[in-house]
Amino acid sequence: MNLSNLKPAAGSTKTRKRIGRGPGSGLGGTSTRGHKGAKSRSGYSKKIGFEGGQMPIQRRLPKFGFKNINRVEYKAINISSLQLLADAQQLTKIGLDDLIKAGFISTSQLVKILGNGTLTAKLEVEAHAFSKSAETAIQAVGGTVVKL
């Protein structure tokens, strides 16, 4: 065996149909396209979503809901997470840059502090928004709340 006598396995390859090469080939004439109609013509391409004249799905199904263009999306952080961060890094002031360094948020995100968990450290917390329970919990241990 060498490179000059290599062959694919028997039955593994087929010769391609040579369509539209005259009547002698058996595949001339309509060239497997059938008779008449848009699909038999050159340059035919159906529109996206076309279902053969049947009412397409994007027109059958009703529209519903809406996107509120005034929605403000906040990244929620609980005071229990602030307590863990304060314990780990011995912080008295937690700002956005501290949260970014700790990996809680990315630079483009807005932050809302929520009141889940317990807080024992006296902290000055900087964020875009606070829940009422978080604000009272921070102030109850002598901390301060700074809204950006």
Q: Which of 122, 131, 129 is nearest to 146 (CA)?
A: 129
**pLDDT, tens only, 27-84:** 999 999 999 998 999 999 999 999 989 999 999 999 999 999 999 999 999 999 999 9
The whole-number pLDDT of residue 57 equals 94
What's this model's pTM, rounded to 2 decimal places? 0.59
Per-residue 3-state assignment (H helix, E strand, C coil) for 9-63: CCCCCCCCCCCCCCHHHCCCCCCCCCCCCHHHCCCCCCCCCCECCECCHHHHCCC
**How does the average pLDDT of the chain come out, rounded?**
93
- Neighbouring residues of 94: CB distance < 8 A, sequence distance ≥ 6: 82, 85, 86, 123, 124, 125, 126
- Neighbouring residues of 108: CB distance < 8 A, sequence distance ≥ 6: none
Rounded to the nearest 5 percent, the helix, strand and coil shares of the chain are 25, 15, 55
- How many whole angstroms separate alpha carbon 74 and alpha carbon 77? 9
- How many whole angstroms separate alpha carbon 36 and alpha carbon 56? 24
Question: What kind and span of H or E run contains 78?
Answer: strand 74-78
Looking at residues 81-92, what average pLDDT do you find?
A: 92
- For residue 4, what is the DSSP state? G
Given a contact cutoff of 8 angstroms between Cβ atoms, the answer to whether 82 and 94 are in contact is yes
Domains in the chain (CATH in brackets) are: 74-147 (3.100.10.10)
